[in-house]
């Protein structure tokens, strides 16, 4: 369909944003808009400048017969800091404190605008890693997993506490909860992971990291490979963690019996790469 440049720019931007981390050949765009490659290349340069200026991502050009253009999402450091500060202040409300040292976060994890931004922040860290699937434990990690997977353009695998007849044969594993020291079970259908798959593990909350460690061990049972781990929030006691290398967006810094709590930015910016976002 023949379009004016203004129409092409709008439609190309929409197409790129809905197909992140995907190689799109220039031929697809030239045929779609009935325009010369030179015009399409100019349009892509305009879009890329806008993306980088607004801090929502960048376009990468890949040469060769199988080449094209790929949109990589990211969040600029200033925007990421501002978002995490606001989210930390929201979650620092003493009224959110639950028995056992947990926070009420259901409303946050049910807000699409917040969850989508969390997904973009996580994707910004792992966008250059070879990820085939995002894994999480039911249930509160599911929104974060889907938001991140949509930015990475990969499927989601959900680990459950018990098997379901609709998922066929499964692999079951016992693990020790790092905080309560209780033995618990996790189950994953055999068809969920292929051998050699690269897996990004996500969760909503980490105390000692027993669930995260259990998922890492479960992945190895499938001859797959964990290539990264991230949590929305962790507790402060890092010396007791069962997992060493992970990204945390927020950290529960202060929690006492009087209901005083403080949520600060986690180790996110230890993994944030300025070069990746330039």
Residues 96 and 149 in one domain: yes
pLDDT of 240 reads: 75
Domain boundary among 49, 73, 97: 73
Closest CA to 110 of 75, 147, 84: 147
Q: What pLDDT, on a 0 to 100 scale, did the predictor assign at position 232?
A: 97
Whether residues 127 and 178 share a domain: the answer is yes
Instruction: Give the count of beta carbons closer than 10 Å to the beta carbon of residue 258.
Output: 8
Query: Sign (positive/negative) of CA torsion 160, 163, 166, 170?
Result: positive
Q: Could you give the CA distance from residue 226 to residue 62 in angstroms, rounded to a whole number?
A: 27
Q: Is 160 helix (H, G, I), strand (E, B) or coil?
A: strand
Shared domain check, 103 and 21: no
Domain termination site, one of 73, 106, 123: 73
Q: How far, in Å, CA of 230 to CA of 123, rounded? A: 10
From first to last of its 278 residues, the chain has per-residue pLDDT tens of 788 999 999 999 999 999 999 999 999 999 999 999 999 999 999 999 999 999 889 999 988 766 799 999 999 999 999 999 999 999 999 888 887 767 899 999 999 999 999 999 999 999 999 999 999 999 899 999 999 999 999 999 999 988 888 888 999 999 887 666 788 899 999 999 999 999 999 999 998 899 999 999 999 999 999 999 999 999 887 567 889 899 999 999 876 656 678 899 999 999 998 545 44
> 22 lies in which domain range?
5-73
Query: What is the C-alpha separation between 217 and 37, in angstroms, rounded?
Result: 48
Instruction: Determine the angle formed by the axes of helices 5-17 and 26-33, rounding to 10 degrees.
Output: 140
Which residues is 72 bridged to in the sheet?
Answer: 58
Range 159-164 contact pairs with CB under 8 angstroms and sequence separation of 24 or more: 159/135, 159/186, 159/187, 159/188, 159/215, 159/218, 160/186, 160/187, 160/188, 161/185, 161/186, 161/187, 162/187, 163/187, 163/189
> Which pLDDT belongs to residue 146?
98
**Distant-in-sequence, close-in-space partners of 259: CB < 8 Å, separation ≥ 6:** 94, 97
User: What does pTM read for this prediction?
Assistant: 0.91
- For residue 274, what pLDDT is reported? 54
Overall number of domains in the chain? 2
Q: Identify the CATH number of the domain in which residue 56 sits.
A: 1.10.10.10
pLDDT of the residue at 97: 84
- Output the pLDDT for position 38: 92
């Amino acid at each position: 369909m023949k379009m004016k440049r203004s129409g092409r720019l709008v439609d190309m931007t929409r197409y790129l944003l809905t197909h992140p981390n995907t190689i799109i050949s220039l031929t697809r765009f030239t045929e779609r808009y009935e325009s010369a490659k030179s015009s399409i290349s100019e349009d892509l340069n305009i879009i890329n400048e806008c993306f980088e200026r607004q801090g929502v991502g960048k376009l990468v050009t890949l040469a060769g017969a199988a080449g094209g253009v790929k949109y990589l999402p990211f969040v600029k450091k200033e925007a990421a800091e501002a978002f995490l500060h606001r989210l930390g202040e929201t979650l620092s409300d003493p009224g959110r404190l639950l028995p056992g040292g947990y926070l009420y976060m259901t409303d946050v994890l049910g807000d699409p605008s917040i969850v989508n931004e969390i997904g973009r922040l996580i994707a910004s860290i792992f966008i250059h890693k070879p990820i085939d699937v995002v894994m999480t434990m039911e249930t509160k990690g599911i929104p974060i997993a889907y938001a991140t997977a949509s930015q990475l353009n990969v499927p989601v695998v959900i680990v459950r506490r018990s098997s379901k007849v609709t998922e066929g044969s499964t692999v079951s594993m016992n693990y020790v909860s790092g905080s309560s020291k209780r033995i618990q079970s996790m189950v994953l259908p055999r068809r969920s992971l292929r051998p050699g798959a690269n897996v990004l593990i996500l969760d909503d909350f980490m105390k000692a990291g027993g669930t995260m460690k259990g998922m890492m061990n479960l992945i190895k049972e499938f001859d797959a490979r964990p290539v990264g781990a991230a949590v929305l929030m962790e507790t402060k006691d890092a010396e007791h963690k069962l997992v060493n290398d992970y990204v945390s967006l927020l950290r529960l810094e202060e929690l006492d019996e009087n209901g005083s709590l403080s949520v600060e930015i986690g180790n996110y910016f230890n993994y944030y790469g300025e070069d990746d976002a330039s």
